[in-house]
Amino acid sequence: MTALQKHVSFFDRNKDGIIYPKETFQGFRAMGTNFALSTAAAALIHQGLSQKTRPGKPPSLQLPIEVKNIKGGKHGSDTGAYDNEGMFVESKFEEIFTKYAVTHKGALTEGELGAMLKGNKVPKDTAGSIAAYTEWKMLYSMCKDKDGLLQKPIVRATYDGTLFYQLEKSHKGK
d(CA 108, CA 97): 7
| Residue 13 CB neighbours (<10 A) | 16
**Backbone dihedral region for residue 63 (phi beyond 0: left; psi -120 to 50: alpha; all else: beta):** left
pLDDT in tens, 102-115: 999 999 999 999 99
Instruction: Inform me whether the pLDDT recorded for 173 exceeds 90.
Output: no
d(CA 59, CA 36): 26
Q: Report pTM.
A: 0.93
d(CA 161, CA 153): 12
Q: How far is C-alpha 5 from the geometric centre of its chain's CA atoms?
A: 11
pLDDT in tens, 15-74: 999 999 999 999 999 999 999 999 999 999 999 999 999 999 999 999 999 999 999 999
